Structure 1
Amino acid sequence: MSHGKIREDKTCLNCNHQVEERFCTHCGQENTEPKQVFHYLFTHFIEDFTHYDGQFWKTIKNLLFKPGKLTAIYLEGKRQMYVPPVKLYIFMSFITFFMFSLFPLINLNFDHQESPATVAETKAKNDSIKKVISTQLTEAVNKNTKNLSKNDSILAATINKKIQEGAKEATEPKEEMNFNDGIDESIVISGAKNAREYDSIVAKNPSFGYNLSSPFVHKFFELKESGIPKKEIFQKIYEVSFHNLPKALFIYLPIFAFLLWIFHNKKKWWYFDHGVFTLHYFSFLLFLVTFISILIHTQRLIEHIKFFDTIIDISYYLLGLYSIAYFFIAHRKVYHAHGLVSFIIGTFLLFINFFVFSFLLVGLAMISFLMIH
């Protein structure tokens, strides 16, 4: 509930009608002082969802634990009891992506390198291990080869050499990808090492495939020639993809609703009805993603406590199963389909949406790659 100071003047600033109490009975505006402290901008936004009548909390409770109820009630015309679908989706989007901006799910820190002292200490330890292994193996082989024939002695010596080589390989650090390096200069595309060679090849053999891939190949060679580190490339792809993800989800909303429209009775169910179902389902998914992100960051903090780590791992699987079951339950409750029919349609819809949304994510990654500069 708002805590703004009530104006002494009882004339509504919005419609000029007389205000008897706190709210104008003509337009509904609250008769508070127009100038407020700065934090009022944020508290007022939160109060719009969590005001005294508990509309927001009732909405969240039903959204999470009663699949399909919000949609069914809204389509029946009861629209004052809960937060409207569009408003709910926008709020959940804000919370989700605000959380991601503060605490990214993917850690792209490739800058970690061991100090020279640590490297030297590790090398000395490995040398010591190799020396001990080599000495012990040599003594063991010599001890057991005194009474062997010449051929057996040669075989034992060969085995001893192979074992020592294996010990050396096991104790030497493996070469890992250096994300501070640029793109490998030896990489070629369609026989071309640079954009000029690629354009020459395309000119000799023009095709739709070449025209489609040309922007991506040119961007690849541009990054290769500029020597941008792999770390920076991955970082920029992640940043641009994250920036465009809300737009991609917003674009996908009408696609999801359209797929629902295709598989249901057009006379009984309008596209509007499917849109309401989609907004509620996507709001639930956004809430679930936000909760999972909290679990991930919690797990990073307590990863040394095995019991809680196991509990959180199990929670991921349970939440994943619930997100799938949620759709089937909501679908049956809203569309009143027979159990088997609802299951078949729901399975088909999830299957199609998985591939369509995957295609959208791939397209988002490709666009993000082209936007690197």
Structure 2
Amino acid sequence: MKTEIDCCQNCEEPLEGDFKFCPNCGQKTNEELTLGVLFYNTISNYFSFDARFLKSFIPLMFKPGYLAKKFLEGKRLLYLHPAQMYLFVSVIFFFIFSFTVNDWIKEANNANAAIVKPNEIDRLNNAYEKALDTIVKMSQLRDEKTNGKSTQLSENETQKVIDSILKSVKSNQNGNSINFGISKKKLDSLRNAGVDNNIIYKEMGMDDDAGFITRGFYKTMLDLADGQGVGILIKRFADTIPIAMFFLLPIFAFLLKIFYFNRGRYAHHLVFSFYFFSFLFTVFSILLATNEIFDVIPWYVNLLIALSTFIYFYLAVLHFYNSHWFTTFIKANVITFIFLMMVIPFAAGIITVVAFVNA
């Protein structure tokens, strides 16, 4: 049974006349809840997003600066929103990147474990000691058979040889091991006894009043001594990259604002940056996925593709800001140099420190 509706059920604004849609919020005025209605909006929104992404993909990849320029001209529903494009592509990138990171972690942990595991030299020590004990006993037997008139080394001389060999072996062992402030044997003993990590940190030399950063440092050193520290560092580093990008992108837009101060508000440069970083994430996603699946792309091809992104950046700036080709080339080079040589290394240093001391 149809009922008269005096106001919108969604925004509660008064309705005048026989409106099928609310003029204030756009919701249907007489829509009954059915399974079709329940799933229509979800499917519609999904395919709308999908269609706009596909419509935006070709210009993003092959028309540098086009999407940003069209967005500022007011075409904001025809193509995918710059922030939405960036978030969508970055999620895909970091998903693919996680497989590469996992490979790095496995290789790093294997290398780390190989370094800190009980060294082959330890087994050589035992072998030398047993062999030299045998030499001593054989020398003593020969002395007995010859009534003390041995033509071999005396026991005292043999012991000197033993001490010399053991000293050489131990010196070699110290030169081929990593000191984490605690011996591997002692660490294994504490681990087997179920000793708390805080006690192990103190055995490694940590003070009782150590702060958060110092405690994180010792935790990392303990992870390294356990044979998994390098992998953990790589994982922490990778986990902080998405956060770092949210700071690097606005900084990049700020550099554009400095060099093109009279070419619009900061938000305009931010739109350009969103689309440009979306392009970068798309390119590197394709490279990572191809290398992960086929592992056939030579390193120099990857390098050339990475360097070609500068050409894209130059063309995007040239088209978006409508500036002279030569001044654009100079500015693009300076912006790239500042960002790659100063901003990114500084951010990478902070990320490394945070990853190293993060407990």
Q: Is contact 1:71-1:277 (8 Å) kept?
A: yes
Please say if 1:279 is aligned against 2:279: no
Matches for 1:113-262 after TM superposition, within 5 Å = 183=180, 194-196=205-207, 219-224=216-221, 226=222, 228-229=224-225, 231-262=227-258
Q: Is contact 1:331-1:346 (8 Å) kept?
A: yes
Q: State the shift of 1:332 in Å.
A: 0.7
Q: State the shift of 1:78 in Å.
A: 2.2
* Counterpart Cα distance in 1 of 2:179 and 2:225: 4
* Counterpart Cα distance in 1 of 2:225 and 2:38: 43
Q: State the shift of 1:361 in Å.
A: 1.5
* Counterpart Cα distance in 1 of 2:327 and 2:226: 49
* Counterpart Cα distance in 1 of 2:254 and 2:316: 17
Q: Which one-letter code corresponds to 1:47 in the other structure?
A: F
Q: State the shift of 1:91 in Å.
A: 1.2
Please say if 1:350 is aligned against 2:347: no
SS in 2 for 1:27: coil
* Counterpart Cα distance in 2 of 1:243 and 1:328: 31
Partner of 1:47: 47
Q: Is contact 1:183-1:230 (8 Å) kept?
A: no
Q: Do the aligned partners of residues 111 and 318 (structure 1) sit closer, same or farther apart at CA in structure 2, a change above 3 Å counting?
A: closer
Deviations 1:139-195 (A, max 9, x none): xxxxxxxxxxxxxxxxxxxxxxxxxxxxxxxxxxxxxx99xx883759xxxxxx844
Q: State the shift of 1:37 in Å.
A: 12
5+ long unaligned stretches in structure 1: 1-7, 115-176, 187-192, 200-213, 301-308
SS in 2 for 1:107: helix
Q: Do the aligned partners of residues 228 and 341 (structure 1) sit closer, same or farther apart at CA in structure 2, a change above 3 Å counting?
A: closer
Please say if 1:57 is aligned against 2:54: yes
- Aligned partner (choices 355, 359, 364) of residue 351 of structure 2: 364
Please say if 1:326 is aligned against 2:312: yes
RMSD of equivalent CA atoms: 4.0
Partner of 1:107: 104
* Counterpart Cα distance in 1 of 2:27 and 2:78: 19
Deviations 1:49-82 (A, max 9, x none): 21xxx32211111111100001111122222221
Q: Do the aligned partners of residues 240 and 28 (structure 1) sit closer, same or farther apart at CA in structure 2, a change above 3 Å counting?
A: farther
Q: Do the aligned partners of residues 255 and 223 (structure 1) sit closer, same or farther apart at CA in structure 2, a change above 3 Å counting?
A: closer
Q: Do the aligned partners of residues 358 and 340 (structure 1) sit closer, same or farther apart at CA in structure 2, a change above 3 Å counting?
A: same
Deviations 1:350-372 (A, max 9, x none): 00001211210121111011113
Partner of 1:98: 95
Q: Do the aligned partners of residues 251 and 265 (structure 1) sit closer, same or farther apart at CA in structure 2, a change above 3 Å counting?
A: closer
Using CA pairs below 8 Å that are at least 6 residues apart, which structure has the higher relative contact order?
A: 2
* Counterpart Cα distance in 1 of 2:95 and 2:336: 28
Identical pairs, percent: 27
- Bigger-Rg structure (1/2): 2
SS in 1 for 2:104: coil
* Equivalences, count: 265
Partner of 1:121: none
Q: Which one-letter code corresponds to 1:273 in the other structure?
A: H
Partner of 1:27: 25
* Counterpart Cα distance in 2 of 1:293 and 1:182: 36
Please say if 1:73 is aligned against 2:70: yes
Q: State the shift of 1:296 in Å.
A: 1.7
SS in 2 for 1:183: coil
The answer to which of 280-289 and 227-236 deviates more is 227-236
Deviations 1:108-127 (A, max 9, x none): 2134999xxxxxxxxxxxxx
SS in 1 for 2:246: helix
Q: Is contact 2:85-2:278 (8 Å) kept?
A: yes
Q: Which one-letter code corresponds to 2:357 in the other structure?
A: L
5+ long unaligned stretches in structure 2: 115-175, 184-203
Q: State the shift of 1:280 in Å.
A: 0.8
Q: Is contact 1:105-1:293 (8 Å) kept?
A: no
* Counterpart Cα distance in 1 of 2:4 and 2:339: 55
Partner of 1:161: none
Q: Is contact 2:254-2:266 (8 Å) kept?
A: yes
* Counterpart Cα distance in 2 of 1:105 and 1:76: 43
* Counterpart Cα distance in 2 of 1:92 and 1:370: 30
Q: Which one-letter code corresponds to 1:291 in the other structure?
A: I
* Counterpart Cα distance in 1 of 2:298 and 2:42: 33
SS in 1 for 2:80: coil
Q: Which one-letter code corresponds to 2:279 in the other structure?
A: F
Q: Do the aligned partners of residues 298 and 80 (structure 1) sit closer, same or farther apart at CA in structure 2, a change above 3 Å counting?
A: same
Partner of 2:132: none
Q: Which one-letter code corresponds to 2:251 in the other structure?
A: I
Q: Do the aligned partners of residues 323 and 223 (structure 1) sit closer, same or farther apart at CA in structure 2, a change above 3 Å counting?
A: closer
* Counterpart Cα distance in 2 of 1:356 and 1:230: 34
Q: State the shift of 1:317 in Å.
A: 3.1
SS in 2 for 1:229: helix
* Counterpart Cα distance in 2 of 1:41 and 1:240: 39
Greater fraction helix = 2
* Counterpart Cα distance in 1 of 2:305 and 2:251: 25
